[in-house]
Amino acid sequence: MRWWKATQREVRGKGGRKEMDSFQALTPSGSRDFPRRWRESARQNGTDLHLEVMSSEPRDIKERSFEFAIQIVALCRDLEESPRVAGALAQQLLRCGTAIGARVEDAHGNHAKQDFIARMATATQEARETKYWLRLLSAVEAVPHSRVADLIDEASQLIAILTTIVKRSRENAQMSPT
């Protein structure tokens, strides 16, 4: 089963959007039919629908950082038509928000323990930077806080997870013979 979180927003001219409703639904695993119907229905009503897949199962850090990158790309696409400042901030966000997953994926390659630790530490830095840009976009009202609140929370969780991985990996590297 898959959880879908949907936020329905009223479209108001260029770039002006007002959030209207938020709901969650459980659909059969792999079912993309329900979200497609929701989106079509929303468009007929003059609204836009933002969808996110929410998993009820524990996810590994590679999957979680990949899903986070997808959400960052979606946000940056929405910001493409925004004023100059928001567009510049979106470029920074896109760079670091997608780099988290790339660093995590690279860390899981066949590298020495110290290389793994270094790459995961870099992923942690990218997650911190991503959280900063998300907070800044919200603070300057380039996007409504409700649009980035879940992303800020997920960035915080990624930071905590990655920090723990780095810390434990360093402890294990010191305990084990080289």
Mind listing the domains of the chain with CATH numbers? 1-56 (no CATH), 58-178 (1.20.1440.60)
Residue 156, judged by CB atoms within 10 A of its CB (0-12, 13-18, 19+), counts as middle
- Residue, of 78 and 55, whose pLDDT is higher: 78
Q: Would you place residue 44 in the very low, low, confident or very high pLDDT band (cuts 50, 70, 90)?
A: low
Q: Where are the alpha helices (DSSP H) in 1-142?
A: 33-44, 61-79, 84-107, 113-139
- CB-based contact 62:108 (threshold 8 Å): yes
Q: Is residue 100's pLDDT more than 90? A: yes
Q: If pLDDT is split at 50, 70 and 90, which confidence band does 78 have?
A: confident
How far the first Cα of the chain sits from its last, in Å, is: 44
**What is the Cβ-side half-sphere exposure of residue 141, based on CA atoms within 13 angstroms?**
3
Number of H helices, E strands in the chain: 5, 3
Q: Residue 12 above 50 pLDDT? A: no
Measured between alpha carbons, how far is 21 from 7 in angstroms, rounded to an integer? 6
Question: Is the predicted pLDDT of residue 42 greater than 80, yes or no?
Answer: no
Q: Does residue 118 register a pLDDT over 80? A: yes
